[in-house]
Amino acid sequence: MKNPPFEYHQPDTLEDAIQLLAVYGDEAKVLAGGQSLLPLMGLRLVRPSHVIDIGRVAGLGAISTESSGVSVGALVSHSMAERSEKLRTNAPLVHQAMPYVGHRAIRNRGTVCGSVAHADPAAEMPAVCRAAGASMIAVSSRGERAIEADEFFVGYLQTALDVDEILTEIRFPALAEGTGTAVVEVARRHGDYALVGLACSLTVESTITAAALSFFGAGSTPIRLGEVEQLLIGEEPNEAAFTTAAAAVRSSIEPSADVHGSANYRRYLAGVLTQRGLTQAASTVGVLA
């Protein structure tokens, strides 16, 4: 479990970092907190020839609010995000997901952007991004672009980032008035990857006007269930509506089995979490009918 040889780079500026990426492309990996990359290298499942440690790059460690929402820089650790009042009020899903993210030691080192760029389908942050409609800011020597969360996660551990791009920032849009959110998950043990999890939101003006259901651990990417969300719109936020949604979730997802749970188990659990998540989301804005 020792990593193969690689060349280590420690740029001080974002400019230097993207230049290195421009040169080494798919031979390089960006290292932030290292909570996923380093174990994979130890197992020799990932073998970059160059590791670009952005830990010293200035200007990537901020959580900042803008009129349009709140943004999280590439070096913001899970622990920083967990403690951030700005995120708690402006992007509550991030805050609500944190107790499920690994353990304290992992949250101290691991970064929010790192988890999103790694794109494990059973991790919380990618699903939170999809539920919240976040945009990912990708920077390369060719310039900067924003990638919508719905376009970002393209497959198992695969994102829309090009090989020369760094995910420098995630922008979470402002919450609409009357929006409640919740993150619920079931894992084998406290801190494990989810068997299935759900990041969800409901916007309610007497009836539901918008809904987001973003599942993790239920497929090869985080999954938004647009059809089920549509079913909820126009309904009152009550148990009957959520039960209907749960049944619809169970019939629309196709999770796979692994040593921790069968496909049928995950399908059943996704329904349970739909019910629990939506109930919790509705009660956070005090609209549970």
Partner 1 sequence: MNERTQTSGLGFVGQSVTRVEDDRLLRGKGQYVADIEPEGVLHAAFLRSPFAHATIRSIDVTAARRSPRVTAVFTAAELNELTNPFPPFLMMPGLYTPLYMCLSDKKVRHVGDPVALVLADSRYHAEDALELIEVDYEQLAPVASIADALSVNAEQVWERADGNVLLDKSDAYGDVESVFASADRIVTERFSCQRQSNQPMETRGSVIEVDPETGHLTIHNATQSSHMLRWLTAALAKKESVRSSLKNFATNKDRRDSFIVAAKEFMAQNGESMQNQDNAGPKSQLRKDRSMLRHLPRTLFGLLGKDDYPTVMARDIGGGFGAKGPVAREDIALAAAAIDLGRSVKWIEDRVENLSDGGHAREEDLTVSLALDNDGTFRGLKVDLVLDQGAYPAFPIGASMATQIMRVMFPGAYKFDAFHLRARTVATNKGKYVAYRGPWANETWARERIIDVAAKALGYTPTDLRLKNMFSDQDMPAAMITGPALDETMSTKKTLEHAMQVVDIDEFRDEQETARAEGRYLGLGFACYHEAAPGPPDYFDSISPGAGTLGTEYARTTIERDGSIVVYTSQMPHGQSHETTYAQIVADELGVGIADVKLVYGNTDRTPFSVMGTGGSRGGPLGGGSVKYSSREVRQQVIDAAAELLEASADDIDIMDGNIHVSGVPARGVSFADVAATVISEGDQPFDATFGYTGKGDGGWSCATHACIVEVDLETGRVDIPRYVVVEDCGPIINPAIVNGQVRGGVAQGVGAVLYESSVYDTEANLQATTYMDYLIPTAMEIPYVEVHHLETLSPGENDFRGVGEGGMIGAPPAITNAIEDALGPFGARVTDQYLPPTKILEMAGIIDPD
DSSP count for the chain of H helices, then E strands: 12, 14
Q: Which is nearer to partner 1, 33 or 197 (CB)?
A: 197
* Member of 21, 97, 125, 186 binding partner 1 (CB under 8 A): 186
* Member of 8, 58, 143, 259 binding partner 1 (CB under 8 A): 259
CA distances (Å), 250 to each of 6, 88, 127, 182, 242, in order?
45, 30, 18, 19, 12
Using N-to-C axis directions, what is the helix angle for 263-284 and 239-252, rounded to 10°? 150
2 belongs to the binding site for partner 1 (CB under 8 A)? yes
Q: Which is nearer to partner 1, 124 or 165 (CB)?
A: 124
5 belongs to the binding site for partner 1 (CB under 8 A)? yes
**CA-CA distance, 20 to 166, in Å (whole number)?**
11
188 belongs to the binding site for partner 1 (CB under 8 A)? yes
Residue 14 CB, nearest approach to partner 1 (Å):
31
Please report the sign of the dihedral spanned by the C-alpha atoms of residue 93, residue 95, residue 100, residue 106.
positive
6 belongs to the binding site for partner 1 (CB under 8 A)? no
Q: Which is nearer to partner 1, 230 or 264 (CB)?
A: 264
Q: What tokens were used for 83?
A: 């403690």
Residue 186, H or E segment: strand 179-187
Residue 261 CB, nearest approach to partner 1 (Å):
5
Q: Which is nearer to partner 1, 82 or 165 (CB)?
A: 82
Residue 121 CB, nearest approach to partner 1 (Å):
14
**107 and 101 Cβ atoms separated by less than 8 Å:** yes
192 belongs to the binding site for partner 1 (CB under 8 A)? yes
* Member of 172, 193, 215, 242 binding partner 1 (CB under 8 A): 193
Q: Give the burial string for 151-188 (b: 16+ CB within 10 Å, else e).
A: ebbeeebebbbeebbbbbbbbbeebeebbbbbbbbbbe
* Member of 195, 208, 218, 285 binding partner 1 (CB under 8 A): 195
Strands 166-173 and 179-187: unpaired
Closest C-alpha to 115, from 141, 89, 82, 146:
82
Strands 69-73 and 143-148: unpaired
Look at the chain and count its residues: 289
CB under 8 A: which stretch of 25-33, 55-63, 188-196, 217-225 binds partner 1? 188-196
261 belongs to the binding site for partner 1 (CB under 8 A)? yes
262 belongs to the binding site for partner 1 (CB under 8 A)? yes
Return the residue matching tokens 């894992």.
187
* Member of 191, 239, 252, 289 binding partner 1 (CB under 8 A): 191
By CB under 8 A, name the binding residues for partner 1: 1-5, 39, 43-44, 186, 188-193, 195, 257, 259-265, 267-269, 272, 276
